[in-house]
Amino acid sequence: MQIQKRVLLLLSSLFVLASCRNTNPASSDDLQTSSAQNKKMTVKATVDAFYQYDLIDYSSFEVKDLSNNTAVVGFKVFYEGEELADKKDRILSFGKVKLSFEAEGYGTIILEINVKKSPRFNEELVIEQAPTKTSYKKGEAFSKEGLKVYDELTYTRADGQPVSQKEECLDYSIQIDGMDAANYVFQEENHTIRYALISAKGLDGSILTTSVPLTILSSVKNSTNPKYDDKEEQYKWETSEKKMKVRFSSSKKDVQKAYYSPDEVNLDFNLNSFMNKECTTFRQTPSLGEVPLLVIPVVLNGFEEQATEENHKKIESAFFGKSKEGEIPCSSLASYYYYSSFQQLKFTGAVTPYFNPVKEGFLGYSNPYNFSLDTPSSLANDALKWAKEKLSINLDDYDSDNDGYVDGVWLIYMEDPSNSFTGNVSAFWPFTSAASVARGTKENPALNTYSWAGAAHLYGKYGISSYLDTLGYDPHVLEHETGHLLGLNDYYSYDSNTAQDTYYSPLGKMDMMDKDFGDHNPYSKMLLGWIKPYVVLGDCEIEIPSSQIQNSVFLLPYDDKTYSTDEFGRIILNPFDEYLLLDYYSYSNLYKDTFEQNTFSYQFPTEEGGRLYHIDARALEYSNNSFFLPEDPDEVMTSSESFFRGITNTQSGERAESNYNVPGLNDYFDEVRWISKDGKKVDGNAAPSNSSLFKVGDSFSFDNYKNQFVNDKLDNGKNFSTTFKILSIV
């Protein structure tokens, strides 16, 4: 984060002195003299010490005319022939540094100073002010007007003093999709996100990068995401001609329109957009389009016998296999998401050869029993470096949205499933995280999101049985963790002994992001941009097909919720708010794996009916190192501040709501909860059943179901007067 680049280029050669280490400071007694013709000049240091990365300060030197002991005015300081400008350029080296002093009428004089090494240094580019224009339509040219980029430098001096400085960066380049942004014209017709990648040279000569997200607005009203017709996917997706008809009633009488159909809803702001405002370092895998995953099998030291050709084939099948006719559509991770997204997300990619970090010379991985929770992050970085340098993999091919980060990396560590690691067990539990790595460039994207699991986790319920070679595969764990890559939270609690339930689960385990099976719920699909809802505001009757067909869900907002409209008259929907969702559940397709693959003591409902969810996805604004809930949840779409999704189904740990000290939050608020028709509050001990569905003739009013809401009301305290009745399912 810092400094004008014109200056930095002059200093890059200073690093040649890095081997000359002498930590003794220059003494004020150091004195050098020089003469030129009949003029003599002396110079000495006036400070006790010089520190690496400090700005050169001419007042730190006393330069005098020896003949009359008067100060020499207008002298200049040079290092290896390059001028060091007063209070602009920095001393980058440490140890003995020879500086040249020159003044008109005098000869050159050399002064050797000792520079103390700084133990910590970091430099980043930061966006101080985004461009005035960040939204574009097809045919419009990019403009950087209003953009202010700063170079921010933080380091700790040898005396322990922390230093943080930033200056405007004037010498930088901008690329969009790998092309010079100066004459870039946007060609996309549908809504999408593009990134202006900004690069500049750092103090040490490395390339610093940052980015500005750019929104490409739809230029047509009925824009849709492209769907992929994968001829190799032969699973026959079951659809029914049945529809569920629902009557809605509301006390709201001032609505201009009783409901908006999916075609009349603008849901361009979803999880893909939110991540550009995320206050953490996590940048999710794109959830739309053709997205490449890089899968790297890792051979742990002592488990080399598991690195067989057969196991490698099973990994390839688990990630990228195709579903055959008559099989369930989750025979691979790619197949699962192809169908769950209604063919809008197509995972491609490759499985590399086995990576053995010890044999490849990477240190710190010789004893898996000593792995910590941080080890997979460094291992992922080393694996990506190996893939690039040893396998010559073009990482640009794995950055589909050109944001400077590899879309997603999967590490599968090879193990003996019968083995029990005696080190940090949490280091070997499947998880997804983000590596703290600076953003890369289009040509060399960096690691961000990665997932980590053992080969035994490819086998679902069989994960602790026998040896890998004797098993088939079951990619449920892969599908769950990939949900995290896409940005979805866990929908279960991390604590098995919470204040509310012995096993807290607001969805009763019935979701891919809860117990690793079934389909994604309609809330998750809305966040990922796969579906749009009917937004119900007043009295009406509507019928929808089952949730196995795209855009088949009702969204019911609280009473005083208002919506703005876009230029096509569509209401602009913010999914990061509080509302209810109602869909028509049927036990087909992705829910079949409940019956065909799992041996759990519970299963999804086998009947059909209305499935009701309470959503509280309000985002916390992060400003001045603190969190707060904005009065208007829609600020997340317009504010320039950062945000965080602090309301989750997790009741303990660092993601608990109380940890953010936000007035108005409650540890019992859930991100997504199944509201059961039978009145029983859903949890891990009361999973949804057939009686949890709203059947023909059943009705809902908030008063009759308030016991399933915290404090018998919506979390935001707003009124909710909408009621509904299931009229028919035919």
Residues 326-350 have pLDDT tens digits of 665 567 899 999 999 999 999 999 9
- Determine the residue type at 30: D
Q: What is the DSSP letter of 21?
A: -
- The answer to the question of residue 223 being in a domain is no
- In DSSP notation, 677-707 reads TTSPPPBTTB---GGGSB-TT-EE-HHHHGG
Does a structural domain hold residue 205? yes
Cβ atoms 40, 33 nearer than 8 A? yes
Residues 466 and 561 in one domain: no
d(CA 593, CA 239): 17
pLDDT confidence tier of residue 255, bands split at 50, 70 and 90 = confident
Decide if 383 is inside a domain: yes
Average pLDDT over residues 6-11: 28
DSSP-assigned beta bridge partners for residue 162: 156
Domain boundary among 426, 452, 485: 485
**CATH number of residue 184's parent domain:** 2.60.40
Which among 456, 485, 514 is the end of a domain?
A: 485
Do the domain assignments include residue 65? yes
572 by Cβ neighbours in 10 Å (0-12 / 13-18 / 19+) ranks as middle
Question: pLDDT digits over 53-104, tens only?
Answer: 999 999 999 999 988 999 999 999 999 899 999 999 999 999 999 999 999 9
Q: Which amino acid is at 597?
A: Q
Same domain? For 135 and 49 the reply is no
Closest by CA to 9, choosing from 90, 75, 78, is 90
Q: Quick check: is 2 in a domain?
A: no
Q: Give the model's pLDDT for residue 164.
A: 94
Predicted TM-score (pTM) of this structure: 0.86
Please give the mean pLDDT across all residues of the chain. 86
Please indicate, yes or no, whether residues 52 and 110 belong to a single structural domain of this protein.
yes
pLDDT higher than 50, residue 625: yes
Q: 644 and 552: one domain?
A: yes
Domain membership flag for residue 132: yes
Pair 348, 257 in one domain: no
Q: Which residue has the higher pLDDT, 476 or 297?
A: 297
Q: Is 206 helix (H, G, I), strand (E, B) or coil?
A: coil
Residues 467 and 532 in one domain: no
Structural domain count of the chain: 4
Question: What is the C-alpha end-to-end distance of the chain, expressed in Å?
Answer: 62
Q: Do both 152 and 250 map to the same domain?
A: no
d(CA 441, CA 545): 45
What beta strand segments (E) does 103-230 contain?
Answer: 109-116, 120-129, 135-136, 148-156, 162-168, 173-176, 179-180, 192-201, 207-216
The whole-number pLDDT of residue 10 equals: 28
Looking at 485, 509, 525, which one is the last position of a domain? 485
Long-range contacts, stretch 698-704, CB < 8 angstroms, 24+ apart? 698/609, 698/610, 698/725, 698/726, 699/723, 699/724, 699/725, 699/726, 700/612, 700/675, 700/724, 700/725
Say if residue 412 is in the same domain as residue 553. no
In the predicted model, what is the mean pLDDT of residues 240-265? Answer: 92
Domain around 579: 243-267+492-729
Give every CB contact of residue 216 below 8 A, 6+ residues apart in sequence: 135, 136, 137, 138, 186, 188, 190, 191, 192, 193, 194
Backbone φ, ψ for residue 68 (5° rounding): -125, 5
Bridge pairing between strands 345-351 and 609-616: unpaired
CA 25 vs CA 15, 92, 159: distances in Å:
19, 15, 11
Angle, in degrees to the nearest 10, between helices 476-485 and 333-340: 60
Same domain? For 108 and 125 the reply is no
pLDDT at 1: 27
In contact, 685 and 679? CB cutoff 8 Å: no
Whether 425 and 550 share a structural domain: no
Let me know if residue 50 belongs to a domain.
Answer: yes
Regarding whether 377 and 462 lie in a shared domain, the answer is yes
Res 478: pLDDT: 93
Written as six digits, the tokens of 208 are 């610093």
Same domain for 48 and 166, yes or no, is: no
Q: Is residue 222 included in any domain, yes or no?
A: no
Pairwise pLDDT comparison (595 vs 188), residue with the higher score: 188
Q: CA–CA separation, 572 vs 568, rounded Å?
A: 10
HSE of 688 in the Cβ direction (CA atoms, 13 Å)? 26
